[in-house]
Amino acid sequence: MVFTKADSALLTQGQPFFIPDFTSRCDHEAELVVRISRLGRSIPVRFACRYYDAVTVGVDFTARDLQQQLRAGGLPWDLCKGFDGSAVVGQFVPLTELGRDIQDLHFSLHRNGTAVQTGHTAQMLYSVDELVSFISRYFTLKTGDLIFTGTPAGVGPVSIDDHIDGYLEERHLLSFNVK
């Protein structure tokens, strides 16, 4: 499943996330986010690692009730996945600072101090390089583009006054409030 988000979906620097008034259930989906560092199209898997330079933890918010309505009607998910503020990203860490393979990273999401999602990139359905290669067959990847790589188990709703934190390994990269 591939979908795009407008630049108005991006939420950075600890800005609060506002639950939209058109949904009664807005779910968090923690994901590893990869930052594209150079222009590329139809990138072979073996060269994909040359096209990204940093990673972080992000949250892909989904208006779940709206998604169910759209799915039932056979409609695209743009409204439930791409609304303003639905793509929250933490501070990026250059791959050179990680000292480990991108397919050997732990990440987690905490809601109100409790871990609700934990993932490991080795358990992803597709490797980061496979995702970059696949997506670049259909979309030209540009410097600064972000790829959210998929979410582990533990997706769940957020509520007003929740506090969300994201971690990559031991690094605290993401922190924001839900309003």
58-80 pLDDT tens trace:
999 999 999 999 999 999 999 99
Q: What is residue 138's predicted lDDT score, i.e. its pLDDT?
A: 97
* CA-closest candidate to residue 116, choices 30, 26, 32, 56: 30
Which residue shows structure tokens 């970059």? 132
* CA-closest candidate to residue 107, choices 135, 148, 146: 148
The pTM is what? 0.95
Q: Across the chain, what does the average pLDDT equal? A: 97
Is the per-residue pLDDT at 45 higher than 90? yes
Is the per-residue pLDDT at 106 higher than 90? yes
At residue 117, the 3 state secondary structure works out as strand
The whole-angstrom separation of Cα 77 and Cα 98 is 34
Is the per-residue pLDDT at 136 higher than 90? yes
